[in-house]
Structure 1
Amino acid sequence: MPLGQSVPSRRTLLATAALLPLAGRPAEAAAATAPKRAQRYYDRAAALAGADPVLKALVKALAPGLTMPEPTPLRPLRTFDDVAVLGNSFIQATALFTAEGIVLVDAMGSPDEAEKIIVPGLRAVGADPAQIKYVVVAHGHADHFGGAQFLADRYGARVMMSRTDWNLIAAERPANAPKRDLEIADGQKLTLGGTTIAFHHTPGHTPGTVSPIFPVHWKGRRHTAMLWGGTNPPAATADKRTSLASVLAFAATMRRAGVEVELNNHGGVDHGLARIEQLRAGTTGAANPFVIGRARAQRFMKVMEVMLRGRIAQDQETAAG
């Protein structure tokens, strides 16, 4: 593996092994043996997705029985004038550049990844890692917070997470957990250098998952973006219902905010890795493939809703025998 890249730990891989699409076969194959009521939801989600590659990827990512391919290096890239993506094919950190510093959403899985991927990645896109002011941890899994304390110690960055997920990692005491710092309240706003980020609690993936909404610019034009904080459905049916409620509530919040840009911290679930490479290659011309428009952004959330309903139905039908 090239210098500056590292492989997630076995613990990280096992904890999140269901995040990316099936290797070598479509998600429909994974759902082929689903009970009839659940299958109707999966079929409806596939119909909603149609030929849209972003929505089709989401259907596959949310289907039951997924496995994860090996992570591969990802060259850092500015996906917007003021946003860069850093990481590997498994997990990505998102850097938002402001006039007064950097807000980093997620910090990968370890101090080593922070030092060898995030730090040089920021320099590669023309940014100074010493300008990281805040590290926002979208949820309390190790692949998202593992490098946070390293960045806090080296650059004085403040680490932000929901109270619920601070409590989660305090109870579990995982390796590389950051020291408890700033708590994110539901609806809280953070303003840095004239850029305001609104944080919304979207529990389900973890009890304290957070999804931000913030402005981005592409070729000088302002757009409104969201970053969904945790995609993989949790194991418990009750937690899947919590995820469903979060999807419905956040879709309404997105509608009110006029969200037209869809981002994710696992680019394998939303065709994000392919879109990064399209931008890198310049095959989209002046368009940015992450600007999907308000209607498609709502359809994205609808597909997620229907797939979660299918997963809940499958749990119920399996439990009923």
Structure 2
Amino acid sequence: MSFGPSSPSRRALLAAAALLPLAGREAEASAAAPKSAQSYYDRAAKLAGDDPVLRALVKALTPGLGMPTVKPLAPMKTFDDVAVLGTSFVQATALLTSQGIILIDALGSPDDAEKIIVPGLRSVGADPSKIKYVVVAHGHSDHFGGAQFLADQYGARVMMSRADWNLLATERPANAPKRDLEISEGHRLTLGDTTVAFHHTPGHTPGTVSPIFPVRWKGVRHTAMLWGGTAPPAATTDKRTTLSSVLAFASKMRQAGVDVELNNHGGVDNGLARIEELRAGSAGAGNPFVIGRSRTQRFMKVMATMLRGRIVQDQEANGGTSSAAAAAFPGRSTHVCC
């Protein structure tokens, strides 16, 4: 039997043939996509392997994790030009430039600033009166609480994204700093020999920012990132926003050649243990925060995978398993490298 070029039978066969590759791709994607939140968590654990930094991240992003016990943390220079000050729960990061200090986050209260940040800087050989900028990574009290004290005491300028300044204006929390400088996407702050690039990474809060900046270890230059807000937000839509931020920031990291991973909560990335390695000298000549470009990208991929699991878990809880996989892949064309 033969078909004419315009016969209905021929058109039907051609249409069916055209659909075969699409159907194959959909079937392949369906087979490859995890079917449950646990599948994502398992995938993240496999990506993490035996890497203590990545395993800590998986644990931190696993649902149901309780708040850690807060303990004192002795100040420590983690690089030639970086000091970490705070507690076992939250830390402020001081960038020690040739013209003063850029402080990323300010702990939870004026008392914290006075009794932890100020003496902590002095103990590592830095002068707290040289704090020129206090950068608030996001608008939660454990990050902005000491900012106004430092502004009043030393004339430091306080920086935050517009969205989180607005958040504080709406919520009016205790110890909120007076509105000052706004951080815009791609904003670059130069102080002395250090330039910090800020990127919006909303989700944890509407205006969370994550900086990329140079650091030196034993005189050798590296490029660091500091993820501004790790704990997944409650709302599914905000989790999707966080996932999109992870993917976008991973691309910025790759472009900048980031090989150092930092966080303002050292419990989520094995940072506390790495600080103690440096303190004890057990890291040898190396620096455990210099994890290399590939591992920093894998860090972001593990975070993205865990967030996808959290999104699907929300869908499962609402009886939406049929659309869970789609919900976990916003902007799927965005590439995150590993």
Q: Secondary structure at the match of 2:36?
A: helix
1:263-288 deviations in whole A, cap 9, x for unaligned? 00000000000000000000011000
Give the match for residue 29 of structure 2. none
- List aligned pairs for 1:24-103, cutoff 5 A: 37-103=36-102
The one-character-per-residue Cα deviations of 1:63-88 (angstroms, maximum 9, x if unpaired) are 00110121000000000000000000
Q: Which runs of 5+ in 2 are unaligned?
A: 1-33, 321-338
Q: How do 1:182-221 and structure 2 match up within 5 A? A: 182-221=181-220
Question: Structure 1: which 5+ residue stretches go unaligned?
Answer: 1-34
Given residue 259 of structure 2, which amino acid in structure 1 is its aligned partner?
E
2:98 and 2:68 mapped to 1: Cα distance? 38
Structure 1 residue 228 displacement after superposition: 0.2
- C-alpha distance in 1, partners of 2:122/2:160? 25
CA distance in 1, matches of 2:44, 2:70: 27
Q: Which amino acid aligns with 2:177?
A: P
Q: Which residue identity does 1:141 align to in structure 2?
A: H
Which runs of structure 2 are paired with 1:77-156 in the superposition (5 Å)?
A: 77-156=76-155
Partner residue of 2:10? none
Which secondary structure does the structure 2 equivalent of 1:226 belong to?
A: strand
The residue aligned with 2:265 is: 266
CA distance in 2, matches of 1:150, 1:227: 23
- AA aligned to 1:164 is A
1:183, distance to aligned residue in structure 2 (A): 0.1
What do residues 9-39 of structure 1 show as CA deviations (whole Å, max 9, x unaligned)?
A: xxxxxxxxxxxxxxxxxxxxxxxxxx96100
Who is 2:167 aligned against?
A: 168
Highest Rg: 1 or 2?
A: 2
Residue deviations 1:203-256 (CA, integer Å, cap 9, x gap): 000000000000000000000000000000000000000000000000000000
* Separation in structure 2 between the aligned mates of residue 219 and residue 37 of structure 1, nearest angstrom: 46
Q: Equivalent residue for 1:282? A: 281
Distance 1:286 1:66 in 2: 34
Amino acid at match of 2:282: T
Q: CA deviation at 1:194?
A: 2.0
Match of 2:16 in 1: none
Report the 3-state secondary structure (helix = DSSP H, G, I; strand = E; otherwise coil) of the residue aligned with 1:93.
Answer: strand
Could you list the runs of 4 or more consecutive aligned residues of structure 1 that deviate by over 4 angstroms after TM superposition?
A: none
Which whole-Å CA distance do the structure 1 matches of 2:195 and 2:93 have between them? 16
Amino acid in structure 2 at the alignment position of 1:112: D
Secondary structure of the structure 2 residue equivalent to 1:133 = strand
**Which AA in structure 1 matches 2:169?**
A
Secondary structure in structure 2 of the residue aligned to 1:79: strand
Which amino acid letter does the alignment assign opposite residue 54 of structure 1? V
Counterpart of 1:11 in structure 2 is none
Q: Distance in 1 between matches of 2:250 and 2:68?
A: 30
Measured in 2, the distance between the counterparts of 1:236 and 1:149 equals: 30
SS of match in other structure, 1:84: strand
Aligned pairs, number: 287
CA distance in 2, matches of 1:272, 1:246: 22
Please tell me the residue identity of whatever aligns with 1:181.
D
CA distance in 2, matches of 1:36, 1:85: 41
Amino acid at match of 1:116: K
For residues 117 and 268 of structure 1, the distance between their equivalents in structure 2, rounded to whole angstroms, comes to 18
Aligned to 2:24: none
Q: Let me know the Cα RMSD of the aligned residues.
A: 0.9
Once residues 95 and 134 of structure 1 are traced to their aligned partners in structure 2, the CA distance between those partners, rounded to angstroms, is 10
For residues 194 and 103 of structure 1, the distance between their equivalents in structure 2, rounded to whole angstroms, comes to: 12
Partner SS, residue 166 of structure 1: helix
Find the counterpart in structure 2 of residue 318 from structure 1. 317
Letter paired with 1:284: A
